[in-house]
Structure 1
Amino acid sequence: DMYRIEDIDELYNIGFEEYFYGDGVCLVEWANKVADEIPPTAKWIYIDKDLQRGENFRTIEVK
């Protein structure tokens, strides 16, 4: 969860490289706050409310 990351130095202080470049899968919430540090091979998942269909509907897009 990158919501509370205030600056890029804080990201380095938490050791993000172990997560982003380690083995396995890493899911990052609020990734847009640290977009410059996300690996270029990352998949981005966008989840938005679909208010035309109702309050409980979402559209999901993977790029």
Structure 2
Amino acid sequence: MEFKVNNIEETTNIAFKLGQLLNPSDIVCLTGDLGTGKTHITKGIAKGLNINDIITSPTFNIVNEYDSGRLKLNHFDVYRVNDPDEIYAIGFDDYIFSEAVSVIEWANYIEEILPREYLHIHISKDFTKDEDYRIITLKGYGSKYDYIKELKI
């Protein structure tokens, strides 16, 4: 499934609608170059989960937890993870195999330790159109994520 967006508001809106569909223990893996909008996707997902906290990227903490919404949200940023053992040391399995929704920015950095089933969102820029133009691609790995077909924008 692919969406073309022209600004941050459209990006956040797609993520908001996705957040409304997410289920307990869903794992959302975000990939894309620096500055493509991964944290904006996370902010939109949080809003869709009825989380009104200020969402910030946990670049130095690795994970931020938000539990004020319909479902708890574990927000990972693994950009600075050099070794999968680092992420295991914080209890990664306990986080992602919980009832919370887990969003993992820079998931491609820990590909070898991701579970077999997850929702992958890739964001790319198309500079030939406009600086804010993005292509957002969603792909579910596992039948658990078939519900993304219900995402209407």
TM above 0.5? yes
Q: Which residue in 1 is equivalent to 2:127?
A: 51
Q: Does 1:38 align with 2:114?
A: yes
Q: Secondary structure at the match of 2:118?
A: coil
Gaps of 5+ in 1: none
Q: Secondary structure at the match of 1:17?
A: helix
- Of 55, 73, 92, the residue aligned with 1:16 is 92
**TM-score, normalised on structure 2?**
0.40
Residue identity opposite 2:101 in structure 1: V
Distance in 2 separating the partners of 1:24 and 1:13: 19
Identity %: 40
Task: State the 1:14 CA deviation.
Answer: 1.0
Query: How many correspondences in the alignment?
Result: 63
Distance in 2 separating the partners of 1:17 and 1:42: 14
Task: State the 1:55 CA deviation.
Answer: 0.5
The structure that is strand-richer by fraction is: 2
Gaps of 5+ in 2: 1-76, 140-153
Q: Which residue in 2 is equivalent to 1:29?
A: 105
Residue deviations 1:5-58, cap 9 Å, x none?
Answer: 110111111111122111121000010010011111101100001212110110
**TM-score, normalised on structure 1?**
0.91
Report the aligned-residue RMSD: 0.9
Maintained 8 Å contact 1:51/1:57: yes
Maintained 8 Å contact 1:48/1:60: yes
User: Deviation above 3 Å: which 4+ runs of structure 1?
Assistant: none
